[in-house]
Structure formats: structure tokens, C-alpha cells
Chains A and B, each alone.
Chain A
Amino acid sequence: MNLTRHHGGTIILLTFAAAMLLTIIPLSDDFRTLRPDWVALTLIFWCLALPYRVSVGSGFIAGLFLDVLTGTLLGQHALSLSLVAYFCVRLHQRIRIYPMWQQALTVLILLILHQLLTLWVDSTIGRPAHPPSYWLPSLIGAALWPLVYRLMTALRVNFSVQ
């Protein structure tokens, strides 16, 4: 694989930056806990689209940024996002050919895995249990997946990121 084939690295970075902006943009208290994990969704998309460019390492770095931005334990999101990236890259050939609803289901499982790992770290360091609504962001994220997928594919085609 030669370097000339790589295109549009800035677009990938910009999508991650936009996802992080959406993660910290202030919402009213009613909606704060419902915010889908934009960074995880972005990571899953790029892992499916370009598994040879975006994978575990990118997930780790994005996770570190997310930890600093949201004030969680440093490395918590890095761990869960790198695992999500790993499974995503591992299964990308299979997930790519799924119909959209099945893809959304797979994304749901990946998002839940991400939240589960975060929860696991949280309870290990002695945070109190979360309410059941803690899991809603995963459902919302999976429901938004078709939209995210179309949008990002359009971006990708438009700027010929490869």
C-alpha cells in the first residue's frame, strides 16, 4: 500500500472533532443523559469504511481526548473505544454487507459493549450505580446509525477519503 492512495486525513480528523464538539455541547438537564455517543459512532463508521487507516490506535487516542473532555478517569474511554474498534475491524467485512437494520443492531451491540466497559471501570473505582436510563444513549445511537451512515458516506464520497 503506497502513501499516495491515502486521501482526506483531515476529513477524518474533522469528523472526530465534530463528534467531540457534539459530545460537550451544553444541553438541558432533561436531555443530557440521552446524548448518544457521537465519538463511538464516528469511530465505528471509519473502522467499517477504512479499517486499514482507522482502527485500535485511533480509538485509543479518541478515547483519551474524550476522557479529558468529559472529566472521566483517564483511559476509561480509551480502553472501551479501542475494544470497540478492535471488534469493528475484526468483523468489518461481515458488517459491511448487512442490510441497514442488521447493521444498526450490530452497532447497538458495539455501543452497549462500549458503555458496559465504561460502567465496569466506573464500578471498579467505586462510583455508585447508574439508573436504568444509563443505557438509553446506546439505543438512540443505534437508531441514529442509518442517518449517520448516509451522512458520513456522502462526506466520504464527496471528499474521496480512502
Chain B
Amino acid sequence: MITKNTILFFKNSFLGFLLLTLFNLSAQQNQLISGNISDVNSNPIPGVNILEQSNPRNGTVSDFDGNFTISIAPNSTLTFSYVGYETQVVKISTETTLKIILQEDRSSLDEITIVAYGKQKKSSVIAAVTSIDPTELKTASSNLTTALAGRVAGVIAYQRSGEPGRDNAEFFIRGVSTFGYARSPLILIDGIETTSTDLARLQPDDIASFSIMKDATATSLYGARGANGVILVTTKVGKEGVVKVNVRYEKSYSAPTRSLEIADPITYMTLHNEALVTRNALGGRIYSLEKILISKDPNRNKMAYPAVDWFDELLEDYTLNSRFNFNISGGGKIARYYLATTVNTDNGNLKVDPRNNFNNNISFKRISLRSNINVNLTPTTEVALKFNGNFDDYIGPIDGGEATYRKAMQANPVLYPKFYEPDAQFQNSSHVLYGNAGQFGGYLNPYADLMRGYKDESYNNFVATVEVKQDLGFITEGLKARVLANTSRYSFYNLERRYNPFYYSLGNYDFQSDQYTLVALNPNQGTEYLEYNEGNKIITNSTYFEGSISYKKTLNKKHELSGMLIGILRELKYGNAGNLQSSLPYRNIGLSGRFTYGYDDRYFSEFNFGYNGSERFAKSERFGFFPSFGFGWYASNEKFMEPISNTITKLKFKGTYGVVGNDQIGSASDRFFYISQVNLNNGSMGSSFGQEFGTYINGVSIDRYANDQITWEKAKMLNVGVELGLFGVVDIQADYFTEYRSNILMDRAQIPASMGLQAPLRANVGEASSSGFEFTIDYKDSLTDDLFVSARANFSYATSKYEVYEELDYINAGLPWRSRIGLNLSQPFGYIAERLFIDEADIANSPLQTFGDYMAGDIKYKDINNDGVIDINDEVAIGYPTTPEVIYGFGISSSYKKFDLSFFFQGSLNSSFFIDAYNTSPFIDTSGGAIGNNALLSAWANDHWSENDRNLYAAWPRLSDQLIDNNNRDSTWWLRDGSFLRLKSIEFGYSVPDRLASRVNLASARVYITGSNLFTFSKFKLWDVEMGGNGLGYPIQQSANIGVNLNF
């Protein structure tokens, strides 16, 4: 509803605005000018901005054939501007028709790359920076982070959950290169540090540039914060010219890529009975044969003989989402503006009971407002004001969407229905008679859990930035200064409104009369009214100040010099920190600089440094210096390359080396490593005394021992790369990198428990290395006048290794295979499962397994150290790392006349995950808070060891109604290959012909349909393989989108 109203509102006001402008125009004595604009090859150029210089509010745009008409005051001057072309200024005297030929702008063709604290000519950049066209990030998801995988070389990304609002992909620049606390990159939006959640909320429509900083020269300016890589995003600003309005609306259908398959209730009962008998011949059945028999009858009394597919009862097959983005930009000589608003609504696919008058389904509304205003105060002073507000409102079930999926898996399908139809006694009951069992009503009824209330969450982030740029050319040519001040205010709360469900169980059922009676299980505990539970509140504010001066000069047209110094101050404070130490401000201070020298557009060099400190370390360890340097050679600009310059249009070699730090070495609550943290009045560490136990005296606890040596992680990074352009249509970039991370904070592993420490001792003793390469190839060509094709592929490989890791002394203990040193940072460990045990004799002749009882049909492990016992010392590294080593993507975009089609594949290689044996164990209780019996996956029902079918390699071992610890071990039995290739997105669009569009006052219009995650190639079939071990959670979504994009 909001979306529609907003459209109307803007439409109305925009029309009003247009009318006003028209009225103003007609009031003047004007002359009408028309004309045609083309390039040097006489190709018409549509979309050229035409402005009356003295009256910048008067302007127009050339149409599809390059034609325009404008009404102007006599003797005015017109400017013609278009991106990539030199702006032309024409003084109008008497002529009424113009023929304008725009020249290509050489300097603007030299693309600009956004780098740390500034911009650089792309040709002179020697740092490893990937910039991506923001339109590449448009997907059928409203979460930007899900678009990163496979689109950006050097980013390792994967998504584990599809729950609205919780579906951020995890992403790492050049993989994970530390085993310390923070592995995620620093994210800066318009220079302001922010969270991955804020990045996820960003609209591709609003992004001007998106860059990934990967090596030392790119990140060392961020000093102790840059070691995990940096993502720099800038948002659009207004451009001088006519008002541009862009409206995009999308409606999207969203459904799980793959749903779990559950065995039917009859099979469930049969196999649950088998699980009991097969473990204990005297155990008896849990379900009578009569119950099983009657349950097969579709006409049975479903209250007395329930058979519930909880997934069906809790979940809808699909849901509908919508996305709306509106932005308006323009401006004149003095001021320019870019205003944008986004309203996205993502819904979950959870059911709602019509008898509740509240919505417990996930509804995630995100409103984002952005206002970027640039004002020229004087010809040399520019002020930029940026305001950005993100407002998320989440309503969802009390325990969240993921828990709903998990509970559907955990509840018994045949003990009770989701609710009972009232019997005679409870005919007039005004509440829902939720089903349950036992004497306490302590069984898990996920339907009641879902329907009992809802959670209200709100997240607000408001960012205000003011930036002043001063050109100091009057002191010396090329000198500029800039100051920026920012504040971000963040608030979050959640609360719950819930009732306590009334539970009933079947008292007795008379088969003859088909009458049953119900028993109220918790008549005194249930409530019919909602109760209120206050939840978390988080309030933070941060302030940031940045000042810089820069200088740039070209000497003798050959020597290009530049220098820049930046100082920053940053402070973050928590309003409800919980304890004194956390309440103290988090601060950073830093001074950084960049110095570049280029010779003749052929040789480039660069020196960068960051010198900064953070409050969390002892005085002597507070400041660090992080230098880096690099060299580049633009070989194709050499004389000797000229003969082949049509073939090799670009050839550039570059290399960088430097040191960067990471000061996020403990959780946010790990402050001040150099002082101990104690609680001198701890209510949970005391004792009570006295005849009537009335005197409780609080106690004392130690949460951290002081260590004044602790400091940041240090990363030494090397990058070598080559850029190659062929025939002007193919662009290839390849980079190889190595990184050595030292000073990684870790717990001392060899401190015995007999030391009696309450908190781990920690020190900067860990070291890790990583290396890899990235490769991008771009192809862009107009094959005919009507057919344009571009193709893009990229490939990122990153691997890592523990170099120094304090662990138990496995080498001396004769257990070298338990050591992590030399292995990947996310290398899984586990047992080698050989097969299932054949029989008792097989067990007797095999090494003793020490994980509780086991029988024939349970997993037999390999005795690595040949000591006749299978225990923790037989664990070895198995499989690939859990973080994929390879992420790749490729796709093609093409347009033919007014149609365009693009598709994009994304894949991942070299990763492993464990099937969650505990949570998929059928019949056992994994629900924690209540009593449950896990559902039976069809895969296990169809392929398990049984006494009649002693398949030693069956997918599931011998059934059990109890957790069999022996089988519930990380082992090769549960290890699966995480690699996949999926059609990440496909899009088909049609642009309305401009003539048609202009008739309704549109500059352009496009309708499109998009699909995402439509199909996946993988050997793994139980759930979406990208979810890895989290397969029982909220599934990753596939979606189909229909959208319209209008430009005024």
C-alpha cells in the first residue's frame, strides 16, 4: 500500500513541478531552436543534455535520433554535454536550426578509478583494485551482498540462509587470511565506515561506483583497519543538467530453491518402531499396529489419528515481494542534487492462522532515503551534504523464520494434530485448542509456536555527512584541501507480543461413535491475551572526521607528481554497553599519505603509508606504521609496441608490496587487553548462608587477564598483475597475490586446566599465509548496428594455511595428523568412516570405538594410530576447506534493437561441508526447549541399514530413537562436496522506443523479467548445496521478477 501511495505522491508532485516549469517558460518572449546532434561518424547521439547557460533550469535532452527542440531567450548560450564527449558551448544569435557534432572526450575515456580517499586515472592505478559497474549488482534479490559472488574477481562469497532480513551472504576479499576474530573487509560507503548490513541494504540504482581494494597499496592508507581488504562504495551525486527522474518498480515471486523431502507419516511410524526394536529387541513399539493401520485410512478421524506434515502446516509454497526505487537528480551551476528513496518489502513464506488478528509471517520492510546535495559556495569551494537514512521494520515469528523451519523438522508428526477441533466439553472455548502430549504439554507443537505471537523489530540508521572541498590553486596550482565530518546514529529494538498457547491432548476416543474427549494440559498456564516481552535495544553513535590536503602537478608534460595527506579521527559509542569497559568510546586516529610519480604515461610508482592507533592497546603498542609501495609499467604506451597497437591495445604490468594491519582482534566486548577485566560484584559467583538461607553474598569473577603486549595483526602483502587489452574489445586482468599474516591473537593452547584460570590467556602468536590468483576477462563489441554483445568471466582462487598455530603438542605426542599447521584455515577435521559394521563379530574384531554404544549397522571408523581404540586421536583432516577456494562466474549480456537478454552463471569449487547428522537423526529429540521427535528425511527412509537389508554403505546407519553418539561424529560419512554451478540470474528486457516514450513525456522506459537461482548443478540433492551444513535452516530463495524502469 505504501508503495502505491508513494508513487502517486511523487507522480503528482512531479507533474506539478513540470507544470510550473512550463508556465514559467511560456511567460517569456522566446525563440524556438531545433537541431540534430551526432558524433564524428554522423551517428546520432540520443540523451545529450542541452541547457540554456544563463537559465540552467531550462533544458532538454536529445531524442533517439539526436533531434531536439528548445525554446530559449534571445541571444543565449547553449551547452551540449554528454558523458564521454567534450562539452560544446554554442552562442545563439539568429539561427533556428543547429547541426552539432560532439567530439569524443579523450580525457574522460581515460576512466577514473575510485581509490582510498580519492580517485585516480585508471591507467595510472597500480594497486589491485576491482571496480564493478553497479548495474552488474542488480539482481532479483533485495540484498546486495548476494550479488557479489562470481561478479567481482577477488571476492569469495557464499550465502547460507534465505530468510528475509537474515540473508546476507558472507564475503571475504581474497578469501579468509586470518583465524583471528574479524575476517570481514572494511566497508566504506561515501568514505564512512559501515556494516555489511548497510551494504546489503544499498540500492544498485544509487551506486555511482563500487570498488574492491585488495592489495597493500590499495589498503595501507587504512593502516590497522585494512588488512582484510576494503570495499569502497560511492553514491550518485547530482549532475548539472535537466531534471532526471528514474523510477523502478519490481514485483517478485520467491520460493525455496529446494525443499527438504520428508517421509510420509506411515513410513515414519513404521521406521520409528523399527528404530526401537532394532536397538533393543525387548523395547517394544511406540506406535501400535492398529494406529498405523488406521492412519492409512484417509477417512479416519484425523484428531484421533493425526498425521501432520509440519512443513505443509507451517509454510506456504511461495511468497511475493516488491521493490520500489525512485530517484531524482539534476541541478545547475551552483547546486546539484541527487534524491532517492527506496521501499522494499520482503515477505517470508510462513503461514498465518486466520483466528489470530496479527501477522506472524515475516514481513521485512526497508525504506531508505538518500539526499546528496553539492553546492558551490565560491568558484573554488564546494560543499557536499549527504543524508542517508535506512529504516527497517521487521515483523516475524517469535523465534524467527529459521527456527520455524527447524521446528518443523523437530516435531513428531503423529502424536497430535496442530490443533484439535473442539469436543463436546470445549465446544465454547474461545481459544485455539493446540495439540500436545505428555503430562506437561511439554511437547513441541511448532504450529502453536509459530502462531503464538510475533516479534517487532526496528532498525534505524541515519548518516549525515558534510564535506567541504577547497581548491587552493591560488596558493599553488594543483593544491586542494578537503574536510569531512560525519555522524551516524544507529538504533535497534525488538519486542515480542505473545500469548501462551493452551494445549490439549486426546483423552479417549470411541471408535464406534467416532467421539473423542480432550484433556486440557495447561489450563492454568495458557493465556488468551497477548503478553508483552521487552527485548534488546542497541543504540550507538559514531562520529568521524577526516581532513586532507592533496597536490598534483605535471612537469614538462612528462613527470606526473602527486601527494596527499589525510588525517582521521573516529569515535564509536554504545548507549547500552552493559558494562563500564564497553561503555568507553571506541576510537581510532590516523594519518595516511599517498605519493605517486609517473613518467610519460609509461612508468608509474606509488608510495603509501598509514600511521594509526586505536584505544584498545597499551600505550606502547598503540600506534603502528603501515607502508606500501608499487611500480607499474604501461608497456603498450612504449614506442616499440606501436606496430601492434591495434592488436594489443593495452598491456600493463604492475607489482605492489606492503604491510597492512587489522585491529579487530577480539570481539567488540574485548576491550583493553592491557588491563584485566573483573566483576567485583558478580551475582552468579556468590554463595548463600544462614539458617534460612537468606543471606546471599555476591562473588568476584575474572573475565580477562591483563596482557600489555597485545597488539594488532600484521599482513605483509604482495601483488603482481597484468592488464591486457586485445583488439579494443577484449580486456583481460590477472593478478597473483600472497599474504603473510602474523600477530594473530589466539588462546594459549598449552595452558593446563590445573592452572585454574577463569579466562583464556591470549597472545599475538598466530601466523597464517594465503595466496591465490584472480582472472577477469571482458568482451564488449557491437557486432552490427543493432546487436551489441558483452561477455564477462571471472575466476578467483584463494587458499590459506596455518603457519604458526599454538595447539597441543601433537608432534611430540606422536599424533602429527591432529596438527593444523600447514592446513587451510577452514580445514574440517573428522574421522575416516570405512563402512557400517557387518555384525557383532565384525565389531569384536575391530578397534574399540569410544563414543558410546554401537551395534552392527553403525559406522566403523579407521584406526589412524593403530592403537586399537578409536578416539579423538584418530581425527584427521578430511575434505576441502569449508570456505570455498574457488568462486567463479561468467555471463553474457546482449541487446538487439530494443530487446536485451543477459544471463549469468556462478559457481564455487573446492569446498566441503558436513551433513548435520545430529539434527537430521530421525526420531531423536533435538528441540531443546520442548520434547520432539525429529522428522524422517526421505533420503534416510529410502536408504538406511536394516536387519533385512544389511547395506554396508547405506546412506543412513542403523536406525535409533536415541542419538547414537558413535554415528554423530564429524566423519567422511557425512562429508559432502560443496561445489556447484548455478544460473544465478537471467534477464530479458524490452525498451520502449523513444518516440513512443517521449509521447508520454518519458525519456526512456524499459520492462523486464528477471529470474534468479533458477537452477543449480550439484551432486548434492538434500537441500540447496550453497547452504552447506545449514541445510535445515531457512532455504535460499529462487525468484522471478517482473519490473519496469521509467526515466523522465
Q: Answer whether A and B are interacting partners.
A: no
Residues of A within 8 A of B (CB): none
